[in-house]
Structure 1
């Protein structure tokens, strides 16, 4: 017997990826509905190879009798409708930033802290930021071995993190640069084509951006509150796939072979680390893949007990849609969702 599942924000890049992921993983569904804003109502979206769903208006949708709702409509929309769905008895897995740091909402990456799901008393679970997800998946087995003290990370984040509009802007600017048309910057603060922008989200009082703050506080909430994190987040002219250069300082001495073995065995991680030309994974190679890839693993001799590595993942899949679906799968495995389907 399956579940009644709603996908909220179904016409966006992440919403479409959620529908695709549910179908690919044969999630146990009896009934599925695609929801979005009034302006998107009536559009059609695909679910699997043979099913087309007509998008319904979120504003008027009654969540009573529905089991699971995967939300990715924007933070302000989730703020209104996620509690409404939870109140109707529907488990909400929200991909936006709105609930992540609320103390009574679990922030979950299933490979890292699945037991946090047992504390979902409000019926809402938060999906972490895309750049945080792939980092903590890679850090978890290393933390278990050597205990992390400090993480310094520089991200190279794809424009898909800014939605379809960001991807369209990279395409339009790239085309314009070749044909001699003026380049217009609307979604980003500066030209993104053939450029890098060290600025994601708004600036905060201490000079960090909110994206950098998210990586810090979310890592501490998910993995360990005693870990220090310093992040520099950069938008790069890549359509899909986030990359991260990560340096970690541990409490205990690092054994490189033990680190390799832990990463090889870790759920959700693929270690591809060959010390030769091309012996690493780049963002274009991870598109459409579920794993978090780790390469360039090496000792950092400039700090006590230091280790550095390169990490890439598809930010629309593991960084958003897949992680949300895995949360739902884990809740079912832990008997935390009791379906209402008849």
Structure 2
């Protein structure tokens, strides 16, 4: 189906995800008639390159979504909630990349390779939610196993890059590394609870009364919503001193026997997944291989001798693309083809 050129907006265009969105749009075949970069008053005026042009970010305000077909929201949950009604009033569809609506039963949570049909519920609120990067990566890897042998339980240790905390997290790690490599005291952290440089922080988001962090609860909830509410999912989220690329160490208990060799064959054929599994040759998922790749890299696939029908594996994905910019653009294409009224 041919899509007419779209009038688009990116809310949060100067942040880490927003910049990745603009870059991914430039690389994509999505036809763009116009692109408005929207930001806070503090970031207004920043310039980004886009398809042989230089675009300047404007402060979001009244009329920002007028004449727009679709807006990508990437400026944080509170900002998404604050501007959704303005977008709806302007007839502008919203693809939201923040946690704002992921748990809302009236808003479809969609990962195109898994549940594109859920977009049928988009019209109810005029918004579709993109699963978080760790959720998307884990769901894509578990999906072929779940179809073939039924996943009874999955446990993941998610090693999250600092870009998961936005551009502030990236800038904070840069400043810390620069200071410490010059034998100086690093500036106190503001985006993260503790210094990231030369450190590992077992906290991503605030803790609840049950001891689980906000990110841990969110990843488990998203995966269950994508793959089935009966799936038991345990998550431990850890911030590591890497700029881009989340890594996950995953243990899976299947309902039926499968085995590592059969699992590898499933991963070779699974959409959104790339098997990177030759450990004897030093080939396995790593952030340096995953950055700027839309696929989830899966490797170190092996049988788990501690449990019946158990598998262990390692995942890695670019957190700004899968469950981020690339997923959002894929959703925009599907909306334009089937769900938007384009005059």
TM-score range, shorter chain: over 0.9
Q: Does 1:15 align with 2:25?
A: no
- Which of 118, 137, 143 is the aligned partner of 2:120? 118
**1:92-130, CA deviations, whole angstroms, 9 ceiling, x for partnerless residues?**
000111111011001111111111111112111011111
1:38 Cα shift?
Answer: 2.3
Are the counterparts in 2 of residues 161 and 315 from structure 1 also a CA contact under 8 Å? yes
Q: 1:163 to 1:145 in 2, by over 3 A?
A: same
Alignment partner, residue 137 of structure 1: 140
Q: Does 1:184 align with 2:187?
A: yes
Matched residue SS, 2:54: strand
1:258 Cα shift?
Answer: 2.6
Alignment partner, residue 292 of structure 2: 288
Counterparts of 1:8 and 1:230 in 2: how far apart (Å)? 32
Alignment partner, residue 322 of structure 1: 326
Matched residue SS, 1:83: helix
Alignment partner, residue 64 of structure 1: 66
Counterparts of 2:215 and 2:263 in 1: how far apart (Å)? 28
Matched residue SS, 1:285: helix
Alignment partner, residue 97 of structure 1: 99
1:43 Cα shift?
Answer: 2.4
Q: Does 1:213 align with 2:217?
A: yes
Alignment partner, residue 255 of structure 1: 259
Gaps of 5+ in 1: none
Task: Select between 257-266 and 236-245 the one with higher mean Cα deviation.
Answer: 257-266
1:338 Cα shift?
Answer: 2.5
Matched residue SS, 2:113: coil
1:240 Cα shift?
Answer: 0.5
**1:63-107, CA deviations, whole angstroms, 9 ceiling, x for partnerless residues?**
233211111011111101023212322110001111110110011
Counterparts of 2:97 and 2:106 in 1: how far apart (Å)? 16
Counterparts of 1:148 and 1:61 in 2: how far apart (Å)? 47
Counterparts of 1:64 and 1:237 in 2: how far apart (Å)? 41
Counterparts of 1:276 and 1:283 in 2: how far apart (Å)? 19
Counterparts of 1:253 and 1:331 in 2: how far apart (Å)? 39
Counterparts of 1:248 and 1:20 in 2: how far apart (Å)? 35
1:248 Cα shift?
Answer: 0.9
RMSD of aligned residue pairs (Cα, Å): 1.4
Alignment partner, residue 85 of structure 2: 83
Matched residue SS, 2:185: coil
Alignment partner, residue 273 of structure 1: 277
Counterparts of 1:203 and 1:273 in 2: how far apart (Å)? 35
Counterparts of 2:319 and 2:64 in 1: how far apart (Å)? 31
1:332 Cα shift?
Answer: 3.1
Q: Does 1:52 align with 2:54?
A: yes
Counterparts of 1:246 and 1:75 in 2: how far apart (Å)? 28
Counterparts of 1:152 and 1:54 in 2: how far apart (Å)? 44
- Which of 283, 301, 306 is the aligned partner of 1:302? 306
Task: Select between 128-137 and 199-208 the one with higher mean Cα deviation.
Answer: 128-137
Matched residue SS, 1:243: strand
1:261 Cα shift?
Answer: 1.6
- Which of 214, 222, 226 is the aligned partner of 1:222? 226
Are the counterparts in 1 of residues 259 and 309 from structure 2 also a CA contact under 8 Å? no
1:40 Cα shift?
Answer: 2.3
Structure 2 length normalisation: TM-score? 0.95
Gaps of 5+ in 2: none
Counterparts of 2:41 and 2:261 in 1: how far apart (Å)? 55
Q: Size of the alignment, in residue pairs?
A: 338
Are the counterparts in 1 of residues 259 and 311 from structure 2 also a CA contact under 8 Å? no
**1:202-228, CA deviations, whole angstroms, 9 ceiling, x for partnerless residues?**
010100100100111111111111101
Structure 1 length normalisation: TM-score? 0.95
Are the counterparts in 2 of residues 82 and 94 from structure 1 also a CA contact under 8 Å? no
Are the counterparts in 2 of residues 2 and 339 from structure 1 also a CA contact under 8 Å? no
Matched residue SS, 1:319: coil
Counterparts of 2:171 and 2:24 in 1: how far apart (Å)? 23
- Which of 334, 339, 342 is the aligned partner of 1:339? 342
